[in-house]
Structure 1
Amino acid sequence: MSHRLRRLWQHPRYSMQVWLHRLLFWAGAVMVAVAAVSFEWLSSHGSALFKLALSWSPLLALIITPAGFVLVLWLTRRVFPGAQGSGIPQTIAATKLAHAEDRNAVLSLRIAVGKVVLTTIGLCAGASIGREGPTVQVGAAIMHTLGRWVRIPIQGIERTLILAGGAAGVAAAFNTPLAGVVFAIEELSRSFEERTSGTVLTTVIIAGITAIALMGNYTYFGHTSATLELATAWKPVLICGIGGGVIGGAFTRVLLAFARGLPGLMGGAIKTHPYAFAGLCGLGVALLGLISGNSIYGTGYEEARSILEGTSTLPGGFGVLKMLASALSYISGIPGGIFAPSLSIGAGLGGSLAPYLPAVPLGALAILGMVGYFTGVVQAPITAVVIVMEMTDGQALTLPLLATAMLAFGASRLVNTQPMYRTLAQSFLGAQSAPAPEEKTPGQK
């Protein structure tokens, strides 16, 4: 008996190395979840502080928001260099960096703390940013740091830990476990080629439509209040898919142009006077806030929820105003994500179609708008569908959502052929690998 136990204990499946590997993932997942929950608490209270200031006078935004943008940019450059951006491109780039020193610089705990602090301050100033992208980098940083401390001698473990941390960040930030897994596959690792994703979507849609035509619309795990009949679904699917894809692709194209640096006098002025430009962006956000009745600030969670529930009192142009505020917040150079604002924008754009499509439920329009616009921005259709379904319990709209995502993906690719996160990650990798300029001796010209 003791011999059998000894052989069982010596089996590779039960080795200390394997258990250490598992414990590392489990502990890291718990830590990422705790960090994400803490981040959510801080960001919520930051937004609440800003709303409290606006309750005294909405005009205070004309002072708080520009000053807050300048402060966050200064802290980013002087105290937390490397914490700018959403965090997802840096996480993608970290999986491709060959040297440990470079990965450590991108995914240090110092940058993770800076990401949380700076995003929270940005929300205190009314920036139209989200915490989900930063949470991806925070999760990846936590898992990567644990890997450095434990030093598990398994080939490729560093990349695995980064992917797991990023996925855990998405899952914890949105409370969407399945979306975290899909996001890691589709966006962080790109294990699926883009043409393969399109083929899978098309196959699923065709098979699903055929099943509905033969057996009727049914669900296994309950129903959602927002449903669409096949006969009436085509019109909102076409509008939200093609329209959301084109608008989202154009939005991404603008952000990428500013990220690369604009040519001419304007680009030179932005590089020369970054703090003045950040202040102007903050002033633009404040003016949009006054026009929108203070509805475009922050992540947009509450506004999107009110549209889905049919209790919204938002202005008709909320989606467009929120999109402009998000663009200004991003190009200003302050840290912050675009996940949550994009979902809010999509809900606003979809909800604005209600007067023109009275036969379609408002909740269905909002959900289709969220998937269409979000897919147009990030060009990750499967992630968009899964994350919206998990967040809204919209399984009854699975096929319309998949069709919308497929159309939005194609339309976005016509407007912008470069996926946002991957393009920014490639730019980051190029900057990392670029040789430093050679110093000239006094005799050289």
Structure 2
Amino acid sequence: MKFALSHRHKRILIIASTRSRRRAIFLLGGVVVGAAAAVLAQLADWAQLLFADLLGHSRYIPFVVTPLGFLLSVYLTNRFFQNAQGSGIPQAIAARRLTDQTARAKLVSLRIAIGKFLLTLFGLLAGASVGREGPTVQIGASIMFALGRFSPRRQPGLILAGASAGVAAAFNTPLAGIIFGIEEMSRSFETRSSTLIIAAVVAAGLTSIALLGNYTYFGTSAMGLRGGIDWLAIPACGIVGGAAGGLFIRCVVAAGGSAAFNRRPLIVALLCGLAVAICGFVSGDTIYGTGYSQVKTALESGTALPEDFGVLKFLATTLSSVSGLPGGIFSPSLAVGAGLGSNVAALFPATPIAAIMLLGMVAYFSGVVQAPITAFVIVIEMTDNHAMVIPLMATALIAYATSRLIAEEGIYHALARRFV
């Protein structure tokens, strides 16, 4: 009897120790992901300021710097950091689907995380229309994968937690991070991992807040729709944004599957960089980088963006995405949506323009990722505008349905197929 009791106690201690270690891994990973996101955010801002300084010397500098920057970034990616191209979210999705650890390590590893970190900054320094948020997801998944070697049975959950924590820390949007993990990364709710994933998101969020402060990504916007004709802006933005999002998916997926594009990646990168420089020059230097500052200023002041901003930002983001350089599409997509919303606002002169820009942001983003819940939650959290909850939800659903008529699945899952 003593032996049986002793054996039982020993088994309980082993289980408790295993669970404690697992919790510690998720929490430690969340802290590290939050710190990495905060450092990347700060350095990304500095990279864009350095590029702005170059523009201050001459508006023609991008015709040299941007094409050469694209070329060098793609060369370094293909030579030293394979599978670090693009936003990185498709790689994280694919890594969760894979069961072989070696195959996973080719998509999420510390080496790829380092390359993603450095080359995302390099892309912004060259004027690419990319964001840092998607790369933060792959970096977060890579960090968790590395820590997961101490708990290999939980690798899929750790990758999911790292990706969710990356979104939460990058935007200071913890709820959106959790929704992103459920709706976009896993497409299901995992009861066994849910508590640990939330713990990782909280740890990442608190670390980011400690380093960057508690902020609202796009500032605070209290504008709303008053009713009547204002509500017609919902289907208008939903259809326009959803159609544009579906078109973006088709363009990027088609380019990625093109033999001509894959045969000469450096020439493609050079030409894409030159085309982005042309878009930048035509736009008056407004479409380079994430587009964050332009959109934040427009939302807070309630003023329209330039008429050609949405279209040119769309072209620059598409070209940056098909070029193969590392960089995300989160922030640029929100900027494209704001530009399209500003165009739609011309049809509703009596409606607050900031409200319609928010509709445009959620519509285009929902059209691109085809994850409507993530789309409206992230916009609500980034603007702290709860008066727009119902309009944003309705717009996201209309945009999602419209995008599905053009593209069968969202950009991340469509691209993830290449890595499985």
TM class, shorter-length: 0.7 to 0.9
Residue 223 of structure 2 is aligned with which of 212, 223, 226?
226
1:182 paired to 2:179: yes
Shift of 1:239: 0.4
> Gapped runs of 5+ residues in structure 1?
1-6, 193-222, 262-266, 430-445
Shift of 1:288: 0.8
- Alpha-carbon distance in structure 2 between the residues aligned to 1:272 and 1:397: 47
Match of 2:287 in 1: 296
Match of 1:202 in 2: none
- Alpha-carbon distance in structure 1 between the residues aligned to 2:93 and 2:416: 6
Match of 1:246 in 2: 243
- AA of the residue aligned to 1:383: T
Residue 350 of structure 1 is aligned with which of 341, 347, 358?
341
Match of 1:48 in 2: 49
**Does the C-alpha gap of structure 1 residues 313 and 290 become closer, same or farther in structure 2, counting only changes over 3 Å?**
farther
Secondary structure of the structure 2 residue equivalent to 1:353: helix
Match of 1:256 in 2: 253
1:285-434 → structure 2 map (5 Å cutoff): 285-310=276-301, 312=303, 314-429=305-420
- AA of the residue aligned to 2:44: S
Residue 275 of structure 1 is aligned with which of 255, 266, 288?
266
- AA of the residue aligned to 2:151: R
1:31 paired to 2:32: yes
- Alpha-carbon distance in structure 2 between the residues aligned to 1:13 and 1:393: 45
Moved more, 36-45 or 157-166: 36-45
1:51-90 → structure 2 map (5 Å cutoff): 51-90=52-91
TM-score normalised according to structure 1 size: 0.83
Q: CA RMSD in A?
A: 1.9
- AA of the residue aligned to 2:233: P
- Alpha-carbon distance in structure 2 between the residues aligned to 1:294 and 1:364: 25
- Alpha-carbon distance in structure 1 between the residues aligned to 2:117 and 2:133: 11
Shift of 1:314: 4.2
1:165 paired to 2:166: no
- AA of the residue aligned to 1:169: G
- Alpha-carbon distance in structure 2 between the residues aligned to 1:427 and 1:10: 43
User: Is the 1:310–1:362 contact (alpha carbons within 8 Å) kept by the matching residues of 2?
Assistant: no
- Alpha-carbon distance in structure 1 between the residues aligned to 2:359 and 2:335: 12
Shift of 1:272: 3.5
Shift of 1:416: 1.0
- Alpha-carbon distance in structure 1 between the residues aligned to 2:351 and 2:11: 63
Shift of 1:174: 0.7
Shift of 1:389: 0.2
The count of aligned residue pairs is: 383
User: Is the 1:9–1:15 contact (alpha carbons within 8 Å) kept by the matching residues of 2?
Assistant: no
Shift of 1:16: 1.6
Shift of 1:369: 0.4
User: Is the 2:370–2:409 contact (alpha carbons within 8 Å) kept by the matching residues of 1?
Assistant: no
**Does the C-alpha gap of structure 1 residues 178 and 375 become closer, same or farther in structure 2, counting only changes over 3 Å?**
same
Secondary structure of the structure 1 residue equivalent to 2:60: helix
- Alpha-carbon distance in structure 2 between the residues aligned to 1:226 and 1:8: 60
Q: Name the larger-Rg structure.
A: 1
User: Is the 1:170–1:179 contact (alpha carbons within 8 Å) kept by the matching residues of 2?
Assistant: yes
User: Is the 2:221–2:299 contact (alpha carbons within 8 Å) kept by the matching residues of 1?
Assistant: no
- Alpha-carbon distance in structure 2 between the residues aligned to 1:237 and 1:323: 21
Shift of 1:419: 2.0
- AA of the residue aligned to 1:409: Y
Match of 1:151 in 2: 151
- AA of the residue aligned to 1:321: L
User: Is the 1:90–1:106 contact (alpha carbons within 8 Å) kept by the matching residues of 2?
Assistant: yes
- AA of the residue aligned to 2:276: V
The Cα offsets for residues 103-154 of structure 1, whole Å up to 9 and x where unpaired, read as: 1221110000000111110000000001111110000010110011x236xx
The Cα offsets for residues 15-61 of structure 1, whole Å up to 9 and x where unpaired, read as: 22111111111110000000001111121111111110000001111
Shift of 1:309: 1.5
Shift of 1:245: 0.6
Secondary structure of the structure 2 residue equivalent to 1:106: coil
> Gapped runs of 5+ residues in structure 2?
1-7, 190-219
- Alpha-carbon distance in structure 2 between the residues aligned to 1:343 and 1:363: 13
Percent identical pairs in the alignment equals: 49
Match of 2:120 in 1: 119
Match of 2:206 in 1: none
User: Is the 1:8–1:14 contact (alpha carbons within 8 Å) kept by the matching residues of 2?
Assistant: no
Shift of 1:289: 0.7
TM-score normalised according to structure 2 size: 0.88
Secondary structure of the structure 1 residue equivalent to 2:61: helix
Moved more, 168-177 or 275-284: 275-284
**Does the C-alpha gap of structure 1 residues 241 and 415 become closer, same or farther in structure 2, counting only changes over 3 Å?**
same
User: Is the 1:307–1:351 contact (alpha carbons within 8 Å) kept by the matching residues of 2?
Assistant: no
- Alpha-carbon distance in structure 2 between the residues aligned to 1:359 and 1:8: 72
User: Is the 1:224–1:395 contact (alpha carbons within 8 Å) kept by the matching residues of 2?
Assistant: no
Shift of 1:9: 10
